[in-house]
Amino acid sequence: MEVVQVENGDGEEGRKTETKVELTVNEIIEEHVGSFGLSQLLQVFLVSLPWAFDAQNTLVTIFTDAQPAWKCKVPSSSCSSSASLCGLEPGTWDWIGGRKTSTVAEWDLICSHKFRAGVPSSMFFIGSLFGLVSQGKLADTYLGRKKTIVLSCLLTAMTSFLTSFSPNIWVYAFFRFTNGFARSGIGICCLVLSTEAVGRKWRGQVGNYGFLFFTIGFLSLPLIAYPSRHSWRNIYRIISSLPLAYSIFLTPFIFESPFGSPSREEQDEAMKES
């Protein structure tokens, strides 16, 4: 527990008695900053924003890895819209919108190869599992919450952008693994940093704001995917630009938590910023 000691001296009959008052970080925040002021509201907003990027990178495969509709090139007895796609002769049908609309269409992840379409999503969550352990350790011991958020956002932007250049399903799965590893530090650090910025009675409510931004990020995906519906690669490039812009332009306005600062000097600095 972080303790601030204040010493008061009283003179009584030629003798000086000394009283020590111990204040926790929570008490300092509530007494000198307030439970939930304007600056704290801004902090909560800025810190919760990366949840939207997390949602976009987590759920983007709903659009990029979907199986698009198909059509017969020339309706005939050998090709019918009611027939099974796997039973049709090659060259008698085509994807509506072209082969670049999704990974399934571009790499023919259908029929006997259909199982491959689920590999990238599995790799994404395996990467997230490894990332949670390593980035949680970084946040608690070396970097602190704020720097870990910046690192996660930058790595998320980089891996998402690289994903758009995948030449085949296996390279794509690898980059989804790295993307899952990168984004895993966003959620937990944003949740902790936003709740530690306010008084104790507000923490339960503030903790829900992150899930609100996660929902906003999910709802924004159709707005991103529709204009890029003819190229799944462009979807990744668009969502990669958002965490990059956040790291450059908005993170300087975020202050570190006094609870999560790994060194005494950074704790003192965080208290001053608060």
Distance CA 12, CA 10 (A): 6
Q: What pLDDT, on the 0 to 100 scale, is given for residue 60?
A: 97
Which one is predicted more confidently, 111 or 234?
234
Mean pLDDT of 68-87: 74
Mean pLDDT of 217-231: 96
Mean pLDDT of 1-23: 49
Q: Residues of the chain with pLDDT > 90: what percent?
A: 50
Whether residue 78 has pLDDT greater than 80: no
Mean pLDDT of 220-236: 96
C-beta separation of 79 from 93 below 8 A: yes
Q: What pLDDT, on the 0 to 100 scale, is given for residue 179?
A: 98
Confidence of residue 3 (pLDDT cuts 50, 70, 90): very low
Q: What pLDDT, on the 0 to 100 scale, is given for residue 125?
A: 97
Confidence of residue 86 (pLDDT cuts 50, 70, 90): confident
Q: What is the pLDDT of residues 150-197, one digit of tens each?
A: 999 999 999 999 999 999 999 999 999 999 999 999 998 999 888 887
Q: Which two tokens stand for residue 252?
A: 């300087």
What domains, with CATH codes, occur in the chain?
A: 1-33 (no CATH), 35-65+117-265 (1.20.1250.20), 71-114 (no CATH)
Which one is predicted more confidently, 2 or 61?
61
Q: What is the pLDDT of residues 21-77, one digit of tens each?
A: 455 655 555 554 556 678 888 988 999 999 999 999 999 999 999 999 888 877 666
Q: Which two tokens stand for residue 204?
A: 């339960």
Distance CA 133, CA 147 (A): 16
Distance CA 128, CA 132 (A): 6
Helix axes 50-59, 144-163, angle to 10 degrees: 30
Bridge partners of residue 19, in order along the sequence: 8
Alpha-helical (H) ranges within 108-168 are: 119-141, 144-163
Q: List C-alpha distances in Å: 242 to 100, 153, 173, 189.
A: 23, 9, 22, 18
Q: What pLDDT, on the 0 to 100 scale, is given for residue 2?
A: 45
Q: Which two tokens stand for residue 35?
A: 């439970």
Residue whose C-alpha is closest to residue 110's, from 180, 195, 102, 53: 102
